Amino acid sequence: MASRPEDELIGDEDEYEEDYEEEYEDELEEVEELELAAEAAAGQAAAAADPQDDEEVTEGDEDDDEGSTEEEEESEDDNEVAQDWTGLRLIPEANQLLDILAQLKQDGRKQLTLLLLGKSGSGKSSTLNSLLGEKAAAVSAFKLQPDTESSTTYLRQVSLGDAELDGFRLKIIDTCGLEDPEAGDTVNYTALQRISEDIKGVPIDAVLYVDRLDLYRVEPLDKRIMQSISETFGRRIWQKTLLVLSHGNLPLPPPGTTFETFSERRISLLRKAVRGAFFKPALPAVIVENSEACKVDSDRCRILPDGSRWVVDLWGAAGDMALGSKPYSWRKGMGRKGGSSLKWLIPVVAYGQYLAWKTLLQPRLQKEEDKQAEADAAAWAAKAQERRRLGIGPPLQPTPENAWRLEQMYDDD
């Protein structure tokens, strides 16, 4: 089942946020654009400042140059040996999958690159095997030893004797779990850093953020992992991300829920954990069931409890993500730490302060000054009248300049 944002069931507590989003949609988009542009600029600046990265800067620092990075990557891939995609012949949903690959090919693409991210045991490697139709990656219920590799790349090539599609490549990058298995409930920052180095300059068509469907809560560790992904890869990575929810069979939805309502709620909670007040990536969601016990329909296509064909939906969502916008590509300095994301706010706040002074404070101060000047003039006029009555000359009223000088002298004393 591919659940899109517009299908999302909105709970009561989400209503205020949704209203707010609708009312300020344009402003939010504008701010988001500005933030992402600032992020990209910061990445480019950092890459330019790092002499070791000179090559990457010239290859891919501008949007316009992204094509050249892609070409570079593709030519690199051309030299990599891609195994025949044997699993493609075995996938029951192959016909629909070939349609999606044909669309990508028509769009001028020679390769689809997917990156899997998520906690350990969430089902990344199992999802990879489902996508390939092969038991390519090792899958285990228990983690017995820490990962030795931060990422493993699987490269396959279509060879079906179909002139149209043969040669099309599928690259899937599987990664290790993002929590630290030895330090307990903490984020594996080293793994994140290594993954980012592994994918440096590789154009990613879609990121699959894998988590389990059958959980009630988004834990603090999950939120920290999401935050760390933003910090390491830059928030724009979420704009190329699909939420993939494994264990989609959900044999016993919790009391008071159905498969549909439980799933919608879970997806909504995950989206909320990624999104911020000014950052609303779409995060299309797909539910998957990787186990062999997954039900199938009369065409042997694997289905979820609601009858939807999840393999087709997963491929469809990945294809849409690839066709929807330019690939994501990590470059040094793209991520950011701490509050630096709010740097763009400095000029905005300064301008706000200036406006507040100009429109509120300054007119009030001016009014006070005018009042004081009026009172002074009245006092001097009274003094002059009194002196005239006594037959003596007018009082020596200091000019504004003299008054200022006297004031300075008085201060110095």
Ligand X SMILES: Nc1nc2c(ncn2[C@@H]2O[C@H](COP(=O)(O)OP(=O)(O)OP(=O)(O)O)[C@@H](O)[C@H]2O)c(=O)[nH]1
Instruction: Please choose which of Mg ion, ligand X, none residue 308 contacts, taking the beta carbon within 5 to 8 angstroms, the exact cut-off set by kind.
Output: none
Q: In the complex with Mg ion, which residue's Cβ is closer, 98 or 314?
A: 314
User: CB–CB of 223/232 below 8 Å?
Assistant: no
Site residues for ligand X per CB under 6 A: 118, 120-126, 139-141, 143, 176-177, 246-247, 288-291
Q: In the complex with ligand X, which residue's Cβ is closer, 141 or 390?
A: 141
Instruction: Please report how close the Cβ of residue 250 comes to ligand X at its closest, in angstroms.
Output: 10
Instruction: Please choose which of ligand X, Mg ion, none residue 159 contacts, taking the beta carbon within 5 to 8 angstroms, the exact cut-off set by kind.
Output: none
Q: In the complex with ligand X, which residue's Cβ is closer, 110 or 143?
A: 143
Instruction: Please report how close the Cβ of residue 118 comes to ligand X at its closest, in angstroms.
Output: 6
Instruction: Please choose which of Mg ion, ligand X, none residue 246 contacts, taking the beta carbon within 5 to 8 angstroms, the exact cut-off set by kind.
Output: ligand X
Instruction: Please report how close the Cβ of residue 114 comes to Mg ion at its closest, in angstroms.
Output: 14
Q: In the complex with Mg ion, which residue's Cβ is closer, 66 or 198?
A: 198
125 is a site residue for Mg ion (CB under 5 A):
yes
Place of tokens 């793209």: 334
Strand pairing class (285-287; 241-246): parallel
- How buried is 271 (Cβ within 10 angstroms: 0-12 exposed, 13-18 middle, 19+ buried)? buried
Instruction: Please report how close the Cβ of residue 344 comes to ligand X at its closest, in angstroms.
Output: 35
232 is a site residue for Mg ion (CB under 5 A):
no
Helical H runs in 215-298? 220-233, 259-274
Instruction: Please choose which of ligand X, Mg ion, none residue 273 contacts, taking the beta carbon within 5 to 8 angstroms, the exact cut-off set by kind.
Output: none
Please state, in angstroms and rounded to a whole number, the distance separating the CA atoms of residues 121 and 130. Answer: 15
Q: Which residue is nearest to Mg ion, using beta carbons?
A: 125
Instruction: Please report how close the Cβ of residue 26 comes to ligand X at its closest, in angstroms.
Output: 39
Q: Which residue is nearest to ligand X, using beta carbons?
A: 123
Q: Which residues contact 49 (CB under 8 A, 6 or more apart)?
A: 333
Q: Which residues contact 94 (CB under 8 A, 6 or more apart)?
A: 88, 133
111-118, strands of its sheet edge to edge: 2-3, 285-287, 241-246, 206-212, 111-118, 169-175, 151-157, 83-84
Q: In the complex with ligand X, which residue's Cβ is closer, 283 or 288?
A: 288
- Dihedral over Cα of 51, 56, 57, 58: its sign: positive
Please state, in angstroms and rounded to a whole number, the distance separating the CA atoms of residues 164 and 301. Answer: 24
Q: In the complex with ligand X, which residue's Cβ is closer, 235 or 247?
A: 247
241 is a site residue for Mg ion (CB under 5 A):
no
CB atoms within 10 A of CB 162: 13
Q: In the complex with Mg ion, which residue's Cβ is closer, 73 or 179?
A: 179
Please state, in angstroms and rounded to a whole number, the distance separating the CA atoms of residues 214 and 121. Answer: 13
Residues of the shown chain interacting with Mg ion in the complex, contacts defined by CB under 5 A: 124-125
